Amino acid sequence: MTRAALNLTDQLDAMRADLGELYRDLHAHPELAFAEHRTSAEIVRRATALGYEVTADVGRTGVVARLANGPGPTVLLRADMDALPVREQTGLPYASTATDPETGGPVMHACGHDMHVTCLLGALRVLAGARQSWSGTIVAVFQPAEENGRGAEAMIADGLFTRFGKPDVVLAQHVGPFPYGMVALHPGPALAATDALRITLHGKGGHGSRPETAVDPVVMAAATVLRLQTIVSREISGTDTAVVTVGAVHAGTAHNIIPDRAELQLNIRTFTPTVRTRVLAAVDRIVRAESAASAAPRDPDIAPIDTFPVLVNDESAVDRTATALRAALGHDKVVDPGPLTGSEDCGLLATESQSPLCYWFFGGVDPQHFLNALSAGTVEQDIPSNHSPHFAPEPEPTIDTGVRAMVTAALEWLD
């Protein structure tokens, strides 16, 4: 352990230019969920060269890189690979100008999954080189389609655990909008469950001048949107957390036509099954009741778009990993951010294999820049968060921390 820890700094120095180049290349070539073909090919090439047993096309575009190195625990290290339909506005020299081949729309690594791939490949290099100092099996999982919540499920359905073995622990990390050099992790429910819903409200179309002949779905939608906002404020306890966002409203084509339908897209975040059940029941009740109140000719349709389970960090796995991270990164560099309302499908890898999960965040922002924003009270305005077109982690120190954290955590769990 000490020997591996000692030469980690030297190894990071030796890898910095190569990993920086890899990161910038991945950033400039983002690919959407289940379209990570170029990204997977690069992972296959690099992991094979490092001596891993590599399998591509697991769960469509996923890659598994395995290194069996004697008896001992199986440690699953996970990085997600997909990008988002966002037009990049960072102005970086390596900014994405990529478009989705299917839709022609913009694509950007706005969530930092390019950083996760880079750091995991860096960690695999260190771990392969340090083979004599550990025993066990590494299963590195490069997961597609995290953003739509389908990638982990697809890899599991494609035999992730039957073909590559059940892990004794699942370790994963995500870059976030806080100072680089720092790591944040929270035991227990750490990321929210998401339920995304598509709601179609049915009205009766007609001429804009003759509302008496129509049932206006625009007014129905407006009333529904406002009433939905009473769920969190009036039906959920002040000590529980829930978010109900109506992220999309679509209706109508022209000012003088009353359309025959309106569509709403909802995003719901909760942390406990009780609150989740309560919120979903309230949405169903309100949508149906507003529809009835408007004398809709048909009941509304309520359909799921996607769903993420709550991500639950195993308390003792967090304790053990955080202790190792503190020793490697510094005591003051590891913090508990409390539960966050983001969502992740990574938890499925742990729940489906019945193994403990430790999932942490690592910072990507210049600490001085962050401190300035903090003292000005403008963190929300000045520090672009994940999914923003301005999201731009500082590559060099961030990659160092990501590799260091992943190697440290992996060595802690390997024999």
- Residue with smaller CB distance to Zn ion, 111 or 283: 111
Tell me, rounded to whole angstroms, the distance of Cα 289 from its chain centroid.
34
- Residue with smaller CB distance to Zn ion, 52 or 308: 308
Q: Which stretch binds Zn ion (CB under 5 A): 18-26, 107-115, 258-266, 403-411?
A: 107-115
3-state secondary structure of 265: strand
Is the CB of residue 300 less than 8 Å from the CB of residue 148? Answer: no
Query: Rounded to the nearest whole angstrom, what is the least distance from the CB of residue 393 to Zn ion in the complex?
Result: 12
- Residue with smaller CB distance to Zn ion, 79 or 111: 111
Dmax (CA) of the chain: 81
- Residue with smaller CB distance to Zn ion, 290 or 345: 345
Residue 346 interacts with Zn ion (CB under 5 A): yes or no: no
- Residue with smaller CB distance to Zn ion, 29 or 261: 29
**C-alpha–C-alpha distance, residues 348 and 215, integer Å:** 43
Q: Which stretch binds Zn ion (CB under 5 A): 15-23, 108-116, 123-131, 164-172?
A: 108-116
Give the total of residues touching Zn ion (CB under 5 A): 1
Single residue of 111, 197, 328, 340 touching Zn ion by CB under 5 A: 111
**C-alpha–C-alpha distance, residues 298 and 290, integer Å:** 12
Inter-axis angle of helices 2-28 and 113-129, nearest 10: 140
- Residue with smaller CB distance to Zn ion, 176 or 217: 176
Residue 192 interacts with Zn ion (CB under 5 A): yes or no: no
Query: Rounded to the nearest whole angstrom, what is the least distance from the CB of residue 250 to Zn ion in the complex?
Result: 23
- Residue with smaller CB distance to Zn ion, 111 or 228: 111
Sheet of 62-69, strand order? 53-58, 62-69, 136-143, 74-80, 169-179, 357-365, 183-184, 334-335
3-state secondary structure of 80: strand
Query: Rounded to the nearest whole angstrom, what is the least distance from the CB of residue 212 to Zn ion in the complex?
Result: 47
**C-alpha–C-alpha distance, residues 190 and 287, integer Å:** 30
Q: Which stretch binds Zn ion (CB under 5 A): 23-31, 67-75, 103-111, 195-203?
A: 103-111
Q: Which residues contact 162 (CB under 8 A, 6 or more apart)?
A: none
| Tokens 């990204």 belong to residue | 39
Is the CB of residue 137 less than 8 Å from the CB of residue 64? Answer: no
Is the CB of residue 53 less than 8 Å from the CB of residue 164? Answer: no
**C-alpha–C-alpha distance, residues 372 and 119, integer Å:** 28
Query: Rounded to the nearest whole angstrom, what is the least distance from the CB of residue 4 to Zn ion in the complex?
Result: 29
Query: Rounded to the nearest whole angstrom, what is the least distance from the CB of residue 174 to Zn ion in the complex?
Result: 6
Query: Rounded to the nearest whole angstrom, what is the least distance from the CB of residue 113 to Zn ion in the complex?
Result: 6
Query: Rounded to the nearest whole angstrom, what is the least distance from the CB of residue 109 to Zn ion in the complex?
Result: 9
Q: What x-and-dash track marks residues 57-96 binding Zn ion by CB under 5 A?
A: ----------------------------------------
- Residue with smaller CB distance to Zn ion, 67 or 196: 196
Binding site for Zn ion (CB under 5 A): 111
